[in-house]
Chain A
Amino acid sequence: MNRRTVNTWGQTLGLAAVVMTVIILMGTFNVVTMALALLVAAVVFFVLRAALDLTGRDRSDRPPAYRDVKVIALGAQIFAVAALHTFLAYLWQNFKDRTDDIGLNLSFDFLDQPGGITIADNPLSANDQVNEAIRAGFENTIRIIILGIPLALVVGTLVGIARLSSNWLLQKIATLYVEAFRNIPVLVVILIAWSVYLNALPPANEGSRKPLGGWFIFNNSRFSFPSIKGLDNWEAYRGLMLVALLIAIGVWIWRTYVFNETGTPHRRTLWSIGTFVGIGAVLFVAFGGPFEVSKPFVDESGRIYTDGLRMQMPFAAIFTGLVVYTATHISEIVRGSILAVHKGQDEAANALALSGIQRYRFVILPQALRIAFPPLINQFLNFTKNSSLAIAIGFAEVTAVINNLFGQSQPAPQLILILMLSYLVLSLILSVIGNLINRRLQLVGR
């Protein structure tokens, strides 16, 4: 019996397995049909086998059916499918019974109904549809992620480097910080941040703290920061600044090209920032001031906030907590990957008389980044998932919004499905981006 026939056999069995699976999945299913399916599979196999024997091929090198790996594999799969299907069908039946019993509608029509919830600092009204509320929550989740992940990365990297510093005090403080916060649940870190803010800051109606001449306002319901307020020409100015950004990128590419061709120092960062700021300044004068810096303001009662950029207290708390917690983990990754860079690299850089910062900037960190990146993606995913803890302090991100919607007696199964899917989609997007970057970072060749 040659190799080809064995493969044909395998394919026949594989086909049989697929057919069986389809039969099992289509029919209503119970233990009797499961036994029947196994029986049918056995019969199919033995018939096929007998048919092969009848053709008069040599059967001496084939094991008996019960020890044939292909038979065992097929049997195992049919059994697994049958068992899984039986179990899931049982659960589904129970689910149907229970939801019918309490009269729960399993359609997604509720998404167009009024949600009945409001979100702080959001124009959403109680009459707005459920899907708009969920979208607003999702936007808040994205807000935490976009602000938090870069900051956690920066803090984590600095702390990771600090732990390897030759300065004894800095090293000890960094170690203390990491060991303290890494071993506390992130929820507790968030709650501590929250309670500290609540206690250390005055209530809004008793006067806020206004450091730096009132450019910043802190009280225990909101943090306010100065921001940019656009005037009449703002739209046009912003469009032109976008063009300026493109020009700056062009300058960057040009300087890189010049460096590659002639070897003169590129100074591309300086050049492109200079271009951008230069164009911006010229346009600012030309437009006669398209924007002004807006100073935050809060009235005596602490209810009316105008101008500036506002941050709700719960947002500030979850932001602080997540950054403080995630940065400890990132610092461990950064430290580990710096240590994993071969010692000779540092010594060689030292021998070339590079300064400490230069050694890190040009020799160690680029190589460490390559090692650190995959676990870093993991931390970013954790950050995303941990942002759901905002539910504990009432910041209206997607989990909290969905939890509030339960309170408005919206159907739980659909909402939970939406909640899980939204995090799965976020995780997927983050890991796809991460893997794309990772592929570019990895060494090619060898």
Chain B
Amino acid sequence: MNRIDHSADAVSAMITAGVDKGAPSTKLPPGQWMKKNLFNNWYNSAITVVMGALIVALLVGVVQWIANTDFAIIRKSLRLFMIGQYPRDELTRLWVSFLLMAATLGFTSGATAHNAYEDALEKELPAERPTWLGLLRRFWAIVAILVFFVSFARTLPPYLGLAAVFVTLVVTRELGWRLPRAVRDRAPFIGTGLGITSFLAIAGTGGLGRWAIGILFAAWTVFEIGRRDVPSDHRGTAIRAGAALVVGGIAFFIVHALGIEGYGWDDWGGLHLNIFVTVVGLGLGLPFGILLALGRRSELPIIKAASVLFIEFVRGVPLISLLLFSNLMLGLFFPLGSELPSELTLAMIVIMGFSAAYIAEIVRGGLQSVPKGQIEAAQASGLSPGAVQRLVVLPQALRNVIPAMVGQFISLFKDTSLLSIIGVIEILNVSAIANAQTEFIGKGLAVVTYPFVALAFWAFAYTMSKESRRLETKLGVGTR
């Protein structure tokens, strides 16, 4: 794109700069820099002038608008935007849950980062220890938006709560980094356990939570049995698996016996609900998605046809039509006389199926990216068809699709806004509710609330998409 500059100075500058295209331009004095980057020919000069005028006009307009707008509606409805109609006197629970969520994120990211760092050192690849400043640079948007949101609050607790969340993040990340490798290797399970606990803190121990704990520990047991990287005899395996099972059993019965009443997700709302629906939709969609992808690649015609039919059907229709289906029709498929789940639960079933179909296509891409030689080599070493998939193909395929999966997370997160159409009180619907309050109705404040909602979505989606691009370069997807 850059015109080749034939002047001797520029050529020598390029040579001395190691033909680094970006570097010389930053070191130019302002006059030359402007000449090179803004006014290098007649049409670029014209564009610069027009765009400059445009951006100045836009900035002036925005500043004027902000100065003349009353943000009372945000201040009044801040709690509604963040957590919906969650009972007011139970806020402690919510904070505990947020702290546990922060602990989940902190611990998992610390442990996985240290593992990645060690692996890179071992393979003598360039490894960088992540610094706090670097992390802040990566996640500045979320931090800034959270601080911005809290700044609307007129009371102290939100500030303290947010500070506590940040402190927990820092402490648990350090902890995750410092723990021994054996613990760090099991970070996904520990993290998921913390996450489920954070869910239980709000939802109580009566509902689905204890089953989630049970399933988690069952999965952990299977994982311990299947571990091939630790040389151990049958006794060692049995001890590890037994330990996981016993701990899981105890946890299950503790949770069962505690019997704390809670607030199911029908009482949740706001941004909290958006994030929750995304995490659960993707988490539950993942196993089904992987199964569908394997089914689509299967050589058995019936299984293949069923998978293709499901995937193509779900991908061919808009999410709205699926949500309308959940709202108006899904209840008809439950046995006559049984009590129907809430609208949100029905919607979550549909969202799970929706994300499974999209994940299936992502995973299929990953499966196709595994070279055929890998499968042939695995078969030649006598692995059974199941073991070929489990031990050779899937680990490589799933590693390749991590960035795409983050992309799917973003798009599912954005799609949760559609729940507002079927009446779920998530953040976008809150803006409609806020506008319908008697003191704000008919004042045309949608122009204030919608950008506010947009900002919430933007901060998370932007950070995640940057992360996805970072992971892409880090994992070297598409360059191998």
Residues of A at under 8 Å CB distance from B?
17, 21, 69, 73, 76-77, 80-81, 84, 91, 94-95, 97-99, 101, 164-170, 173, 179-180, 182-189, 191-192, 194-196, 198-199, 346, 350, 385-386, 388-389, 391-392, 399, 402-403, 406, 412-413, 416, 419-420, 423-424, 427-428
Contact = CB atoms under 8 A, between A and B. Distances in A.
Interface string B31-54: 000000110100010011001101
B302 A188 contact: no
A196 B447 contact: yes
Contacts of A403: 324
A107 B415 CA distance: 33
B48 A170 contact: yes
B320 A389 contact: yes
Contacts of A76: 300, 303
Contact of A77 (B303, B410, B414): B303
B253 interface: no
B148 interface: no
Interface in B307-342: 313, 316-321, 324-325, 328-329, 331-336
A183 B302 contact: no
B302 A81 contact: yes
B52 A169 contact: yes
Nearest to B49: A169
B457 A183 contact: yes
B306 A188 contact: no
A180 B62 CA distance: 15
A428 to B, nearest CB: 7
Contact of A73 (B300, B421, B450): B300
Interface stretch (B98-106, B220-228, B389-397, B458-466): B458-466
For this complex, into which size category does the number of interface residues on chain B fall?
35 or more
B259 interface: no
A198 B320 CA distance: 24
A168 B32 CA distance: 13
A302 to B, nearest CB: 17
A84 B334 CA distance: 17
Contact of A188 (B318, B321, B417): B417
Contact of B55 (A17, A173, A420): A173
Given A416-B329, A424-B313, A195 B324 contact: no
A98 B417 CA distance: 31
11 contacts: A73-B299, A80-B302, A80-B306, A165-B47, A170-B48, A173-B51, A173-B54, A389-B318, A389-B320, A392-B421, A424-B316
B302 A77 contact: yes
Given A80-B303, A185-B414, A389-B318, 14 more contacts: A76-B303, A97-B335, A168-B37, A169-B38, A185-B457, A188-B428, A188-B454, A191-B446, A350-B4, A388-B318, A389-B418, A399-B320, A412-B328, A424-B317
A94 B51 contact: no
A426 B97 CA distance: 45
B232 interface: no
A168 B44 CA distance: 9
A98 B457 contact: no
A241 to B, nearest CB: 36
A73 B300 CA distance: 7
Contact of B457 (A99, A164, A184, A399): A184
A192 B450 contact: yes
B68 interface: no
B135 interface: no
Contacts of A91: 333
Contacts of A183: 410, 414, 457-458, 461-462, 465
Contacts of A389: 318, 320, 418
B48 A169 contact: yes
Contacts of A385: 317-319
A98 B334 CA distance: 8
A191 B332 contact: no
A98 B330 CA distance: 11
A342 B301 CA distance: 41
B479 interface: no
A166 B1 contact: yes
Interface in B379-421: 385, 410, 414-415, 417-418, 420-421
B48 A167 contact: yes
B48 A419 contact: no
Contacts of A165: 1, 44, 47
B465 to A, nearest CB: 6
Given A101-B336, A167-B47, A169-B48, A423 B318 contact: yes
